[in-house]
Amino acid sequence: MATIYDIAKACGLSPATVSKALSNASDVSAATRERVRRTAQELDYVPNAGARALSQSRTWSIGVLCQDASQMGLWHYLFAQVIESFKDYVEQHGYDIVFISNKVGNLGLSYLGHCRYRHVDGIFIVNTDHDQKDAKELIESNLPKIAIDFENENIGCVMTDPDKSMSMIYEHLYALGHRNIVYLHGQRGKFITEARIRALEKAAARIGDEKSSFRLFPSHYYSIEGGYDSMRKLLLATAQDRPTAVIASDDYSAIGVIDAIRDAGLSVPDDISVVGFDGIEITQRTSLKLTTIRQDTRAIGEAAAKNLLSQISSDRGIEKTILLEPQLILGESCKNLNK
């Protein structure tokens, strides 16, 4: 394998000058930098990552954690798109990404242990069980970090504004004449679940109509089967007071909700209106386009990347919530009861 000394010999330069040229130092001419890089390419030179890390006090690698009980991981359209956007941005700034787990090499490493094993400069927490022991250890560490849809005193986050999102949904259904609304929420206690429930409560209170209310019913995140099962149970539990509209926890669950309604011999939207959350592409290409909240995955990934890189390059932590604007997509899954 070629070394800096081989490049120096081929170019007739000192090893120090070659090193500066490869690190884009300003006191080396553009012509020399180009000659050194061209020679390095011809000799198949690969920089020593360990030496680079020691000289610059960073490894130029960032961890990404995307694991939870749903087992969706990168199968989930939203998470995959967010990570792709994050990856694009950090790669433009010279970083690689490393996927973090607590199963690497059967070494018994926690998430934080894996981060230290890989010497990552920071961590992007996309999805995990934040109450799990390994996740708590990572969040409470001094490693630069940013999350989506979760925050506490130890970590900031990027998320689509839950207040605006749920207000858009509730006010849309209310304007269509719906007064019997059920929210099929995800896991209680989860940060984003509680934030969205509070947002619905505020939306109903703002309208001020004594009939403007909603009911809660447990469901699942990111599961067509979970949405189907929850909707089936809801129909059995509300046989005498069937809701006119259902808000699903997310678009995947909404697909299951619609299937359960149809299998019960009912129609969407004539009998029950359905709203999703996330705006995944497939729900806009089916025969019944879903009314949903679209999250801007590119903006989420870029905002997380900018925040994390700022933390890495600064001595102080940048821990704040970044709220992004939601977009209400009007599909064909909601009926106007006023007509």
Q: What is the CATH classification number for the domain harbouring 10?
A: 1.10.260.40
Token pair 């087992």 is found at 71
The string of DSSP letters for 224-253 reads HHHHHHHHHHHHHHTTTS--SEEE-SSHHH
Amino acid 208: pLDDT: 79
Q: In the beta sheet, which residues pair with residue 245?
A: 181, 273
Residue 280: domain span: 162-295
Instruction: List the one residue out of 291, 276, 288, 273 whose CA is nearest residue 178.
Output: 273
CA distances from 283 to 120, 222, 255, 275, 289 (A): 37, 13, 8, 11, 6
Confidence of residue 322 (pLDDT cuts 50, 70, 90): very high
Q: Are 7 and 43 in contact (CB under 8 A)?
A: yes
Amino acid 73: pLDDT: 58
* Amino acid at position 188, single letter: R
In a domain, 259, yes or no: yes
In a domain, 334, yes or no: no
The arrangement of strands across the sheet holding 157-160 comes to: 96-99, 61-66, 122-127, 145-148, 157-160, 321-324
Report field, pTM of the whole predicted structure over 0.85:
no
End-to-end CA, the chain: 76
pLDDT of residue 86 exceeding 50, the answer is: yes
Q: pLDDT of 126-183, one tens digit each? A: 988 899 999 999 999 999 999 999 999 999 899 999 999 999 999 999 999 999 999 9
The pair phi, psi for residue 124, each rounded to 5°, is -110, 115
Contacts (Cβ under 8 Å, ≥6 apart) of 202 = 163, 167
Same domain, 27 and 79: no
* Amino acid at position 125, single letter: I
Output DSSP code: residue 318.
-
Confidence of residue 23 (pLDDT cuts 50, 70, 90): confident
Instruction: Give the H or E element holding residue 5.
Output: helix 4-11
pLDDT of residue 333 exceeding 90, the answer is: yes
Same domain, 287 and 191: yes
pLDDT of residue 213 exceeding 90, the answer is: no
Mean residue pLDDT of the chain comes to: 89
pLDDT of residue 55 exceeding 70, the answer is: no
Q: Are 64 and 83 in contact (CB under 8 A)?
A: yes
- Copy the structure tokens of residue 310: 């700022």
Amino acid 289: pLDDT: 96
The pair phi, psi for residue 59, each rounded to 5°, is -105, -10
Same domain, 229 and 268: yes
CATH of the domain at 256: 3.40.50.2300
Same domain, 251 and 312: no
The pair phi, psi for residue 281, each rounded to 5°, is -60, -40
In a domain, 54, yes or no: no
Domain count, the chain: 3
Q: In the beta sheet, which residues pair with residue 182?
A: 215, 246
Amino acid 54: pLDDT: 44
CA distances from 305 to 94, 125, 148, 222, 308 (A): 12, 11, 11, 24, 5
In a domain, 52, yes or no: no
Q: How far apart are CA 104 and CA 117, in angstroms?
A: 10
Contacts (Cβ under 8 Å, ≥6 apart) of 90 = 62, 97, 305, 308, 309
Same domain, 179 and 263: yes
Q: How far apart are CA 265 and CA 322, in angstroms?
A: 43
User: Over pLDDT 70: what percentage of the chain?
Assistant: 90
Amino acid 157: pLDDT: 94
Same domain, 196 and 181: yes
In a domain, 34, yes or no: yes
Q: How far apart are CA 11 and CA 294, in angstroms?
A: 55
Amino acid 178: pLDDT: 96
Confidence of residue 49 (pLDDT cuts 50, 70, 90): low
Q: pLDDT of 252-304, one tens digit each? A: 999 999 999 999 999 999 999 999 999 998 888 888 999 999 999 999 999 99
Confidence of residue 318 (pLDDT cuts 50, 70, 90): low
Same domain, 236 and 309: no
Q: How far apart are CA 199 and CA 205, in angstroms?
A: 10
Q: Are 95 and 153 in contact (CB under 8 A)?
A: no
Tell me the average pLDDT across 322-338. 97
Find the helix packing angle between 4-11 and 15-22, rounded to 10°.
Answer: 110
Output DSSP code: residue 154.
T
Tell me the average pLDDT across 200-216. 84
Question: How many C-alpha atoms does 137 have within 13 Å on its Cβ side?
Answer: 12
pLDDT of residue 83 exceeding 80, the answer is: yes
Q: Are 181 and 244 in contact (CB under 8 A)?
A: yes
